[in-house]
Amino acid sequence: MKESPKLLKNIAILISGTGSNMEAIINDTQKYDHPGNVKFVLSNRYDALGLLKAKKLGIKTFVIPVNKTYSLENFEEKLLKLLMKEKIDLVCLAGFMKVLSEKFLANFKGDILNIHPSILPSLKGLKTHKRILEKKSTTHGATVHKVIPELDTGKILGQTTIKIKKGDTPEKLANNLIKKEHYLYVKVIRNIMAGKNKIIQID
């Protein structure tokens, strides 16, 4: 059995798409020895496939849209109220395709983590699988870091690497990396919730 909910720290996961890393996090938190509990999954898109996965795993879901009618500022105001209501300690971004503002980051007192598909500080931003191939590098990877106002610049909490093979494409790299992303993210979450400062390194 899991520990009493009173002893667990509360996690919220933000997604925009399929929720692959989200699913890994939820599955890990549902193990008896995990110090955290996923209270909800939230998306900025109604059509995010990850919402269906979360519901099947017994997690409540929310959608706060960001579009021509609803601004990012409106999204952040509603999200902050929800985080406070649910007493969230840790927010995990898992394929969340919006950049949170400096104001929001200052107002939320817990930690916010993100997983980025490159070995930071190299290749910040988008399309990293394509860009690493253009650099003709032999190594690729992923990084979990704390979220700060500067994009993909926060404290590095863990990294994993893969070898780039002849004939690899951006799609192949993404597929080869994803399982290691899952393993890295759940390890870092356990680490940070246990109050440990050691950087996780997975080769």
Q: Is residue 5 over pLDDT 50?
A: no
Q: Is residue 6 over pLDDT 80?
A: no
53 Cα distance to chain centroid = 16
What span, in angstroms and rounded, lies between the C-alpha atoms of 165 and 144?
A: 24
Whether residue 104 sits in one domain with residue 16: yes
pLDDT, one tens digit per residue, over 47-88 is 999 999 999 999 999 999 999 889 999 999 999 999 999 999
The total number of structural domains in the chain stands at 2
Whether residue 10 sits in one domain with residue 94: yes
Predicted confidence at residue 203, as pLDDT, reads: 86
Q: Is residue 195 over pLDDT 90?
A: no
Is 140 part of the annotated catalytic residue set? Answer: no
Give the residue numbers spanning the domain of 39: 1-109
pLDDT, one tens digit per residue, over 107-118 is 999 999 999 999
Predicted confidence at residue 197, as pLDDT, reads: 84
Q: Which of 34, 116, 129, 145 is catalytic?
A: 116
Domain boundary among 75, 109, 143: 109
Q: Is residue 143 over pLDDT 90?
A: yes
Whether residue 86 sits in one domain with residue 156: no
What pTM was computed for the model? 0.94
The answer to whether 199 and 119 have CB atoms below 8 angstroms apart is: no
Question: How far is residue 38 from each of residues 21, 41, 82, 95, measured CA to CA in Å?
Answer: 13, 8, 14, 16
What span, in angstroms and rounded, lies between the C-alpha atoms of 81 and 53?
A: 24
Whether residue 121 sits in one domain with residue 53: no
Q: Which residues contact 197 (CB under 8 A, 6 or more apart)?
A: none
Q: Is residue 4 over pLDDT 80?
A: no
Block residue for tokens 């929720």: 19
